[in-house]
Chain A
Amino acid sequence: MSTHESTHQHAHGSGVYVKTLAALLLLTLITVAASYIDFGSGNVVIALLIASMKASLVALFFMHVYYSTRLTKMIVASGLFWLILLLFIKIGRAHV
Chain B
Amino acid sequence: MEQQADTSKIGMWLFLVTEILLFGGLFVGFGMMQARYPQEFLEAHEHLQRPLGSLNTVVLLISSFTMVMGVLSAQRNDKKKLVMYLIFTIICACIFLGVKYFEYSHKFEEHLLPPRWYHAQPGDTVRDAAGNVSPGYGTFFAFYFMMTGLHGFHILVGIILLAWLAIRAHRGEFSSKYYTPVDLVGLYWHLVDLIWIYLFPLYYLIK
B residues with a Cβ closer than 8 A to A are 2-3, 5-6, 9-10, 13-14, 16-17, 20-21, 24-25, 28, 31-32, 35, 50, 54, 57-58, 61-62, 64-65, 67-69, 71-72, 75, 176, 183, 186-187, 190-191, 193-194, 197-198, 200-202, 204-207
Contacts and interface: CB of A to CB of B under 8 A. Distances in A.
Interface in A28-80: 28, 31-32, 35, 38, 43-44, 47-48, 50-51, 54-55, 58-59, 61-63, 68-69, 71-72, 75-76, 78-80
Given A32-B205, A55-B198, A94-B31, 20 more contacts: A7-B71, A13-B72, A17-B68, A25-B58, A28-B58, A28-B61, A35-B50, A35-B201, A48-B201, A54-B197, A58-B64, A62-B65, A75-B10, A79-B16, A82-B21, A82-B24, A83-B24, A90-B31, A90-B32, A93-B32
Contacts of A35: 50, 201, 204-207
10 closest residue pairs by CB, A with B: A79-B17, A35-B205, A47-B201, A90-B28, A21-B65, A83-B24, A62-B68, A94-B35, A63-B190, A75-B13
Interface of A: 1, 4, 6-8, 10, 13-14, 17-18, 20-21, 24-25, 28, 31-32, 35, 38, 43-44, 47-48, 50-51, 54-55, 58-59, 61-63, 68-69, 71-72, 75-76, 78-80, 82-83, 86-87, 89-90, 93-94
Given A21-B62, A55-B197, A47 B206 contact: yes
